[in-house]
């Protein structure tokens, strides 16, 4: 790979689109990262430890903290009663009496639920004290199976709701009944997507301080956004947003959606600081993280297709039952609705009916997770497409190709309202299978099968949305209810470029750092506009709600960086460039149109010797604002704001353009199932991506590799297991199996670049794709290898053993 | 016989990256906490505190070990090396660190210090490992971001570079 | 996830160590490599009043060959033994099993005797010790005794060690160096085995087979090679006898089926290796 070093000093005339190595790395490689737990805290800071429920469902009868409070060094033991007095329940997206506070109030609803907070001089002492707190419970019957929870006889999690199935919405796009009437065959399948998380290596960290003079809270947390959660936290604390200053540290040890759910602990630490009058720090440990931090929702999808004999899909019906665990936390049920517009995936299917159901069970609350609804949806669709091929005696790949949206139909409006911006799916598939790749897979399969081995080939074709429409969640409400609540839509991105008197360029933006290399890419974008070296651009991404430009869409999630914040930075840099060009034109006596930015100079294009150093021009703006060209605003700071008009609110018939960009992924793989050890070996895996224009191919490939490993994890290893009584069985890294390098097969990555016409840089979101495609692709390959219909993930030895029962 | 009673705080001294360090702690304090919060060397990270993830890996007398499974008092008198000790005093990255940057072997960087320390030990014992040997050592670490591909490539590049130098 | 309070002692000799054990009895835990014990302390599932740190005891840091056995002192780490140049020649079965023990980083600290003391039913070193008919050397103020592996490991994480005793060494017999094979099935590389099977050829006529992860401790079988050559039936019988157990990663049935399938493969490998 051709990688240019940005520290080498060689000038890069074209800073964008090249595999530039990351400016983040030297500090992180030297132990000089600044993660939340690394930052200094005020002297006198106390340390908190959470006492958690051992029961899946129980009434809290009594909490006796006397012995704990008597232990030297213990400042407070905070319980649900304190929380109820000092805070309000978190707002949720649904009108339903599901009240959650930051500690359990009166009853617990899942193993691991926070019951009390011990605050002491050190974490060690806080844990000692926790063992002295006596909590009396009255256990109740629990329900963990989502279907059982829908049953009338099931124990109710929130009795005021009168049901655990707290939302059922039906959607009809096109004439699905006619499609099914016209079909040669109806092919149906039920698919079960498991519970898992992508467990960032750094757990949650919160440091909270209370400022009594104005009743405000100053909180540092490794929160990832979306900042639509900020008002939820402020409301819970009963303060206006300005009195909850939330600061995000400069580095974060991964997130993958999970660090949204630090938000209840922001509120908890904040009131602990208020109660104790001292700053309070809480660092989640791994056991707490596994039991209680966050999980992706598990989903049962009943899906059926109206198909012609040659495999054309005329219509689809989906019934999706999504299990959010014990509470519905904002912005849930995101995963169920984020894919609503693209519910037909990569296929040209004009008729579809969707039923979305939300059920609550005695499990940890589910929330954001990388892939965000995509993995659940595509497991159903892609398994169905494979079944269509099997049941109709067709080739799987032919059925995929027959139904893909043709290139000439772009921009393409899906049945459910998404506007697919660009794509050439057929070409991507042709490239992926070309160069003998598919032939090689078939050869491997045939050789293996001839030797009596269990070998299968899998495919998956998925559409990857980027940058969510903030209005998509309102599809959860009926059109009438939406009308009453006021329209919700759009997604605002912001980035600020500053130039100092010496010409130093600094950038800040509305994203939170998690490891995606945003500093590097932002420096490339701004350097590209200003004719500078990316190494000269200082990017600072420690979001501070009191000082930075942010909107409810801020944060790093749903692949919003490339189609969103990157564009805002481009806009800001372009505006500043225009201003500098005006100043330089004056001084160089040329027209602004003749100005170019290159080699650290601002110069005349027609006569490059007529030039000024970049810093000189910047200095003029600072030192001589009076002498600026007529009509030019002074100051060298620009905030670019990007709000694409395509992100419209849901229509009255519930059509919704859920995202701005839509990339495409086509995966294929060969797997061998070992009948001796009941394990799956991925023999070869090819992943083709079209994410529009790539801003930095090195970083893009890194995202693909990372998402692929998580896709493999979901397909083969990771699962949160509860028994039928709600006991949690995956409470350590010895039980919850994160794949090591030994479990991750080699991956071949291919790219095609079909620029998005809707973003100035042509880039689409691209970091979640293989979390969506890989589980489906592996499931299809195993189904092919074993000749079975029902494949549940993850494909553990236990599940393979059951699937292979009766086989030699 | 060294003895620290449960209610006592004791002074613990060792060398960290070649310099003498010392601080007070209880017998139960983990080496991770001692390094990070007593000494202030926060480059060593904590990912699980039960010995699985490898984020906390440091060298003790040159040997890679999980510092979350080590008591601070066990490090007494030892030579401890952490990620802060890898780069040159002027901040110049060493060959392994450079290879990690070149091959995009890190994203969030949280797992990275531990992985660097493991290979610092391993490459000193075996400067030209095979890919299988690299994978075997790396399997003692969890990384959630990279899918490991860049890490393997980085260590391979270093071992290839090693082969050009006289050992 | 921080340990409870405990007294820490670091004796300067094995003699001092057993004196402390005599004083505290079962309120004491011996800390060697700490790869299991420290995790249990962090999780607060163990609560010793005193930790006796023997990791630095030079007198226990030895590997020696005597009386047809390799004796491994209690301070020897798994990697020290794995890297011992004579291991492959003298104890090929252990050499085959050691790479499956944890990871490079944990083997750097985890001790051979610590693994034996921990007595996890699916752990590799106790399995090899049992399969080879090895011994454990225990020392206390009352004296020294030597137990056969079969008498030492009593059940899931239970051993015959008395509270005042220190495991000072383990002894692995070296007479069987031909025809060895070792396999295990684990969820991930380096995890505890779901099942593990070890085999070595004893002499012209018999095979020793060790099975881990199926019963509450390693099971050892001596089989005539004539029988072993048709291993299917033998493992069928063993599967019935040992029953297996359920945990998160495997059911008893899966364990039995794994044994039925992996067992013959290991026997075949051992016989092929002997030929
Ligand atoms: S923190 Fe030590 S191994 Fe995970
Ligand atoms: S780089 Fe984030 S965990 Fe490895």
Same domain, B101 and B43: no
Mean pLDDT of A204-232: 97
Tell whether A113 is covered by a domain.
no
User: For atom 3 of ligand 2, which residue has the closest CA?
Assistant: B143
Same domain, B36 and B66: yes
Length of chain C: 275
Is any Cβ of chain A less than 8 angstroms from the Cβ of C204? no
Structure letter (DSSP) for residue A36: G
**Ligand 2 proximity of B104 Cβ (cutoff 6 Å):** no
Residue bearing tokens 């892939």:
A371
Tell whether A385 is covered by a domain.
no
For residue B62, give the CATH number of its domain.
3.10.20.30
Same domain, B51 and B105: no
Tell whether A590 is covered by a domain.
yes
| pLDDT band per the 50, 70, 90 thresholds, residue C273 | confident
Smallest Cα–Cα separation from B109: which of A743, A694, A770, A38? A38
Tell whether B1 is covered by a domain.
no
pLDDT of residue A808: 52
Same domain, B73 and B108: no
Same domain, B17 and B81: yes
CB contact under 8 A, C42 and B68: yes
Residue bearing tokens 């070998």:
A455
Note if the bond before A333 is cis, omega within 30 degrees: yes
Segments forming the whole domain that contains residue A426: 404-468+658-803
Residue A715 sits at the vertex; the CA angle it makes with A713 and A719, to the nearest 5 degrees, is 65
Tell whether A625 is covered by a domain.
yes
Q: Exposed e or buried b for every residue in A99-114, given b needs 16+ CB within 10 A?
A: ebbbbbbebbbbbbbb
- Residue A552, number of CB atoms within 10 A of its CB: 18
| pLDDT band per the 50, 70, 90 thresholds, residue A9 | very low
Mean pLDDT of A514-543: 96
C99: helix, strand or coil: helix
Mean pLDDT of A684-709: 97
Give the mean pLDDT of chain B. Answer: 96
| pLDDT band per the 50, 70, 90 thresholds, residue A558 | confident
Above 50 in pLDDT, residue A737? yes
Which of B85, B116, B133 marks a domain boundary?
B85
- The continuous run of DSSP H or E covering A671 comes out as strand A659-674
For residue B144, give the CATH number of its domain.
1.10.150.120
Segments forming the whole domain that contains residue B79: 9-85
Same domain, A558 and A623: yes
Tokens, residue C46: 């163990």
Total domains in the fold of chain A: 2
| pLDDT band per the 50, 70, 90 thresholds, residue B163 | low
Above 50 in pLDDT, residue A242? yes
Same domain, A790 and A728: yes
Q: Per-residue pLDDT tens for B19-40?
A: 999 999 999 999 999 999 999 9
B40 Ramachandran zone, left/alpha/beta (phi>0; psi -120 to 50): left
Mean pLDDT of A161-166: 98
B166 Cα to the center of ligand 1, angstroms:
35
Which of A642, A667, A693 marks a domain boundary?
A642
Strands A493-499 and A637-642, sheet pairing = antiparallel
Q: What percent of chain A has pLDDT over 70?
A: 98
A124: helix, strand or coil: helix
| pLDDT band per the 50, 70, 90 thresholds, residue B165 | very low
Above 90 in pLDDT, residue C83? yes
Residue A70 burial (10 A CB sphere; 0-12, 13-18, 19+):
exposed
Q: Per-residue pLDDT tens for C141-188?
A: 999 999 999 999 999 999 999 999 999 999 999 998 889 999 999 999
Tell whether A213 is covered by a domain.
no
Number of DSSP helices (H) and strands (E) in chain A, helices first: 21, 28
| pLDDT band per the 50, 70, 90 thresholds, residue A806 | low
**Ligand 2 proximity of B149 Cβ (cutoff 6 Å):** no
Mean pLDDT of A565-587: 95
Above 50 in pLDDT, residue A4? no
Q: What whole-number distance in Å separates Cα of residue B99 and Cα of residue B91?
A: 15
> Which of C2, C7, C108 has the CB atom closest to B65's CB atom?
C108
Q: Per-residue pLDDT tens for C31-50?
A: 999 999 999 999 999 999 99
Same domain, A528 and A625: yes
Tokens, residue A434: 């070309």
In order of A221, A478, B116, C125, the CA distances from A556 in angstroms are 14, 29, 28, 47
A138 Cα to the center of ligand 1, angstroms:
36
Above 70 in pLDDT, residue A12? no
Above 90 in pLDDT, residue A807? no
In order of A166, A564, B147, the CA distances from A647 in angstroms are 28, 12, 33
User: What's CA A188's distance to the chain center, in Å?
Assistant: 30
Above 50 in pLDDT, residue A697? yes
Q: What whole-number distance in Å separates Cα of residue C73 and Cα of residue C59?
A: 8
The answer to whether residues C116 and C190 touch, using CB atoms and an 8 Å cutoff, is no
Q: Per-residue pLDDT tens for A617-628?
A: 999 989 988 878
Which of B85, B115, B136 marks a domain boundary?
B85
Residue of B53, B82, B138, B142 with the most ligand 1 atoms within 8 Å of its CB, for mutation: B53
| pLDDT band per the 50, 70, 90 thresholds, residue C93 | very high
Give the mean pLDDT of chain C. Answer: 95
Same domain, A499 and A637: yes
**Ligand 2 proximity of B143 Cβ (cutoff 6 Å):** yes
Helices B112-125 and B131-138: crossing angle in degrees, nearest 10, is: 130
Tell whether B115 is covered by a domain.
yes
Tell whether A170 is covered by a domain.
no
Q: What whole-number distance in Å separates Cα of residue A553 and Cα of residue A560?
A: 9
Same domain, B75 and B34: yes
Which of B85, B117, B137 marks a domain boundary?
B85
pLDDT of residue A482: 93
Smallest Cα–Cα separation from A270: which of A278, A691, A641, C217? A278
Same domain, B102 and B124: yes
C100 Cα to the center of ligand 2, angstroms:
25
Residue of B30, B51, B83 with the most ligand 1 atoms within 8 Å of its CB, for mutation: B51
Q: What whole-number distance in Å separates Cα of residue C116 and Cα of residue C154?
A: 12
What distance in Å separates residue B84's CA from the closest CA in chain C? 19
Same domain, A615 and A694: no
Tell whether A359 is covered by a domain.
no
Tell whether A178 is covered by a domain.
no
Q: What whole-number distance in Å separates Cα of residue A513 and Cα of residue A205?
A: 14
Above 90 in pLDDT, residue A140? yes
What is the end-to-end Cα distance of chain C in Å, rounded? 52
In degrees rounded to 5, what are phi and psi of residue B91? 95, -5
Same domain, A666 and A787: yes
Same domain, B103 and B78: no
B 117-136 → A contacts, CB under 8 A: 135-136
B 5-24 → A contacts, CB under 8 A: none
Residue of B47, B60, B142 with the most ligand 1 atoms within 8 Å of its CB, for mutation: B47
pLDDT of residue B167: 36
Q: What percent of chain C has pLDDT over 70?
A: 99
Above 90 in pLDDT, residue A435? yes
**Domains defined for chain C, CATH in brackets:** 7-53 (3.30.43.10), 58-173 (3.30.465.10), 180-274 (3.30.390.50)
Mean pLDDT of A420-446: 98
Tokens, residue A87: 């805070």
Question: Chain C interface, mutation test: which of A677, A719, A721, A796, most C Cβ atoms within 10 Å?
Answer: A677
CB contact under 8 A, B140 and C99: no
Longest dimension (CA), chain C: 57
Same domain, A424 and A498: no
Tell whether B113 is covered by a domain.
yes
The answer to whether residues A14 and A532 touch, using CB atoms and an 8 Å cutoff, is no
A639: helix, strand or coil: strand
Same domain, B100 and B151: yes
Is any Cβ of chain C less than 8 angstroms from the Cβ of B7? yes
Q: Per-residue pLDDT tens for C189-225?
A: 989 999 999 999 988 889 999 999 999 999 999 988 8
Residues 6+ apart with CB under 8 A from A607: A590
Same domain, B114 and B48: no
Mean pLDDT of A262-266: 98
For residue A552, give the CATH number of its domain.
3.30.365.10
ipTM metric: 0.97
Same domain, A631 and A504: yes
Q: What whole-number distance in Å separates Cα of residue A442 and Cα of residue B67?
A: 48
Tokens, residue C170: 């383990």
The predicted model scores a pTM of 0.97
A197 Cα to the center of ligand 1, angstroms:
19
Mean pLDDT of A680-699: 97
Above 90 in pLDDT, residue C54? yes
**Ligand 2 proximity of B108 Cβ (cutoff 6 Å):** yes
Partners of A244 in the β-ladder: A217
- The continuous run of DSSP H or E covering A187 comes out as strand A185-193
Same domain, B13 and B81: yes
Same domain, A445 and A534: no
> Which of B30, B64, B69 has the CB atom closest to C35's CB atom?
B69
Tell whether B3 is covered by a domain.
no
Above 70 in pLDDT, residue B164? no
Q: What whole-number distance in Å separates Cα of residue A683 and Cα of residue C3?
A: 44
Total domains in the fold of chain B: 2
DSSP letter for each residue of A366-413: B---TTTTHHHHHHHHHHHHHHHHHHHT--HHHHHHHHBPPGGG-SEE
Q: Per-residue pLDDT tens for A43-93?
A: 999 999 999 999 999 999 999 999 999 999 999 999 999 999 999 999 999
Same domain, A533 and A674: no
Give the mean pLDDT of chain A. Answer: 95
Tokens, residue A59: 């009434």
In order of A197, A277, A477, the CA distances from A92 in angstroms are 22, 30, 12
User: What's CA B9's distance to the chain center, in Å?
Assistant: 26
Tell whether B90 is covered by a domain.
no
pLDDT of residue A775: 98
Above 70 in pLDDT, residue A3? no
Same domain, A437 and A461: yes
Tokens, residue C57: 């005891």
Residues 6+ apart with CB under 8 A from A114: A50, A51, A52, A53, A102, A103, A104, A264, A268, A292
């Amino acid at each position: 790979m051709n990688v240019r070093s940005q520290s080498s000093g060689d000038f890069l005339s074209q800073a964008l689109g090249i595999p530039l190595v990351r400016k983040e790395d030297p500090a992180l490689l030297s132990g000089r990262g600044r993660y939340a737990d690394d930052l200094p805290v005020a002297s006198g800071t106390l340390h908190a430890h959470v006492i958690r429920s051992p029961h899946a469902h129980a009434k809290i009868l009594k909490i006796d903290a006397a012995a704990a409070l008597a232990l030297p060094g213990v400042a407070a033991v905070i319980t649900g009663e304190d929380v109820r007095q000092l805070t309000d329940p978190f707002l949720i997206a649904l009108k339903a009496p599901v009240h959650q506070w930051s500690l359990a109030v009166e009853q617990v609803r899942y193993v691991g639920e926070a019951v009390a907070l011990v605050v002491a001089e050190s974490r060690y002492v806080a844990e000692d004290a926790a063992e002295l707190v006596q909590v009396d419970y009255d256990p109740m019957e629990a329900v963990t199976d989502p279907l059982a929870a829908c049953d009338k006889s099931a124990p109710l999690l929130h009795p005021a709701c009168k049901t655990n199935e707290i939302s059922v919405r039906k959607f009809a796009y096109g004439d699905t009944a006619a499609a099914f009437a016209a079909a040669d065959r109806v092919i149906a399948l039920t698919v079960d997507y498991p519970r898992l998380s992508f467990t960032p290596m750094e757990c949650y960290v919160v440091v909270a301080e209370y400022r009594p003079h104005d009743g405000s809270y100053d909180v540092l947390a490794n929160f990832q956004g979306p900042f639509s959660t900020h008002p939820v936290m402020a409301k819970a604390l009963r303060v206006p947003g300005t009195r909850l200053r939330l600061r995000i540290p400069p580095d974060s040890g991964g997130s993958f959606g999970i660090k949204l759910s630090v938000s209840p602990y922001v509120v908890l630490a904040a009131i602990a600081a208020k109660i104790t009058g001292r700053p309070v720090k809480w660092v989640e440990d791994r056991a707490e993280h596994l039991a209680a931090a966050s999980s992706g929702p598990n989903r049962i999808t009943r899906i059926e297709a109206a198909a012609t004999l040659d495999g054309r899909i005329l219509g689809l019906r989906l019934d999706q039952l999504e299990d959010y665990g014990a509470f519905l936390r904002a912005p849930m049920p995101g995963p169920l609705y984020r894919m609503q517009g693209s519910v037909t995936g990569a296929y040209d299917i004009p008729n579809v009916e969707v039923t979305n159901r939300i059920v609550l069970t005695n499990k940890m609350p589910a929330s954001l997770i990388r892939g965000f609804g995509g993995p659940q949806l595509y497991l159903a669709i892609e398994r169905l497409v494979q079944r269509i091929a099997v049941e109709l005696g067709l080739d799987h790949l032919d059925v995929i190709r027959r139904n893909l949206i043709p290139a000439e139909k772009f921009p393409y409006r899906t049945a459910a309202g998404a506007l697919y911006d660009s794509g050439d799916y057929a070409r991507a598939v042709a490239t992926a299978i070309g160069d003998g790749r598919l032939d090689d897979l078939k050869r491997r399969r045939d050789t293996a099968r001839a030797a009596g081995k269990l070998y299968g080939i899998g495919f998956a074709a998925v559409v990857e949305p980027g940058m969510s429409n903030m209005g998509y969640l309102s599809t959860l409400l009926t059109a009438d209810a939406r009308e009453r609540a006021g329209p919700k839509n759009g997604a605002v991105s912001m980035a600020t470029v500053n130039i100092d008197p010496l010409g130093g360029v600094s950038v800040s933006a509305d994203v939170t750092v998690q490891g995606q290399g945003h500093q590097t890419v932002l420096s490339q974008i701004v350097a590209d506009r200003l004719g500078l070296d990316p190494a000269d651009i200082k990017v600072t991404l420690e979001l501070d709600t009191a000082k930075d430009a942010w909107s409810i869409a801020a944060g790093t999630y749903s692949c919003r960086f490339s189609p969103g914040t990157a564009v805002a930075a481009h806009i800001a840099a372009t505006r500043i460039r225009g201003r500098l060009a005006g100043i330089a034109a004056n001084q160089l006596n040329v027209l602004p149109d003749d100005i170019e930015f290159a080699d650290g100079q601002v110069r005349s294009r027609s006569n490059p010797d007529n030039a000024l150093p970049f810093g000189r021009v910047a200095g003029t703006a600072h030192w001589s604002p009076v002498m600026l060209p007529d009509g030019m605003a002074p100051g060298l700071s620009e905030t670019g704001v990007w709000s694409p008009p395509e992100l419209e609110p849901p229509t009255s018939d519930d059509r919704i353009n859920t995202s701005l960009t839509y990339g495409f992924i086509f995966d294929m793989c060969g797997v061998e199932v070992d009948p001796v050890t009941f394990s799956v070996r991925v023999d070869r895996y090819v992943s083709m991506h079209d994410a529009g224009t790539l801003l930095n191919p090195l970083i893009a490939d890194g995202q693909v590799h990372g998402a692929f490993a998580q896709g493999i994890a979901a397909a083969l290893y990771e699962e949160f297991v509860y028994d039928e009584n709600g006991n949690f069985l995956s409470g350590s890294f010895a039980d919850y199996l994160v794949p090591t390098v030994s479990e991750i097969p080699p991956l071949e990555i291919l790219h095609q670049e079909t620029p998005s016409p809707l973003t100035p840089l042509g880039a689409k979101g691209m970091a979640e794709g293989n979390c969506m495609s890989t589980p489906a692709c592996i499931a299809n390959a195993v189904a092919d290898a074993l000749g079975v219909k029902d494949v549940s993930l993850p494909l553990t030895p236990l599940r393979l053993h059951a699937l292979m029962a009766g086989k030699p | 016989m060294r003895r620290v009673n449960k209610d006592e705080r004791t002074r613990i001294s060792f060398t960290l990256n070649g310099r003498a360090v010392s601080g007070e702690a209880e017998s139960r304090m983990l080496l991770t906490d001692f390094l990070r919060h007593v000494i202030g060397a926060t480059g060593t990270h904590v990912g699980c505190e039960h010995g699985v993830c490898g984020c906390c890996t440091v060298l003790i007398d040159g040997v890679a070990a999980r510092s979350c499974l080590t008591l601070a008092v066990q490090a007494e008198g030892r030579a401890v090396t952490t990620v802060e000790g890898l780069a040159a005093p002027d901040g110049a990255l060493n060959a392994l660190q450079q290879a990690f940057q070149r091959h995009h072997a890190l994203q969030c960087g949280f797992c990275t210090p531990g992985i660097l320390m493991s290979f610092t030990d391993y490459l000193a014992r075996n400067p030209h490992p095979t890919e299988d040997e690299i994978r075997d050592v790396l399997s003692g670490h969890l990384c959630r971001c990279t899918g490991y591909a860049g890490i393997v490539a980085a260590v391979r590049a270093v071992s290839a570079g090693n082969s050009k130098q006289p050992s | 996830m921080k340990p409870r309070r405990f007294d820490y002692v670091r004796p300067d000799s094995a003699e001092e160590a057993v004196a402390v054990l005599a004083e505290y009895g079962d309120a004491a835990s011996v800390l060697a490599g700490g790869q299991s014990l420290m995790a249990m302390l962090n999780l607060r599932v163990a609560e010793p009043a005193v930790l006796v740190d023997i990791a630095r005891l030079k007198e226990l840091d030895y590997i020696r060959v005597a009386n047809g056995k390799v004796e491994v002192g209690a301070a020897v780490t798994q990697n020290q033994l794995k890297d011992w140049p004579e291991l492959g020649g003298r104890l090929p079965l252990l050499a085959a099993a050691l790479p499956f023990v944890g990871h490079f980083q944990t083997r750097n600290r985890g001790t051979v005797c610590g693994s034996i003391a921990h007595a996890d039913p699916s752990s590799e070193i106790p399995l090899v010790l049992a399969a080879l008919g090895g011994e454990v050397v225990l020392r206390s103020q009352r004296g020294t005794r030597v137990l056969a592996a079969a008498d030492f490991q009593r059940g899931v994480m239970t051993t015959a060690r008395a509270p005042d005793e220190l495991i000072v060494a383990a002894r692995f017999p070296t007479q069987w160096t031909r025809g060895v094979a070792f396999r295990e099935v684990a969820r991930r590389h380096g995890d505890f085995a779901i099942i593990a099977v070890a085999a070595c050829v004893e002499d012209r006529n018999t095979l020793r087979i060790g099975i881990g992860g199926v019963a509450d401790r390693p099971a050892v079988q001596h089989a005539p090679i004539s029988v072993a050559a048709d291993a299917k039936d033998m493992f069928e019988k063993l599967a019935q006898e040992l029953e297996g157990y359920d945990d998160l990663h495997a059911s008893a049935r899966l364990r039995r089926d794994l044994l039925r399938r992996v067992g013959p493969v290991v026997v075949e490998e051992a016989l092929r290796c002997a030929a």
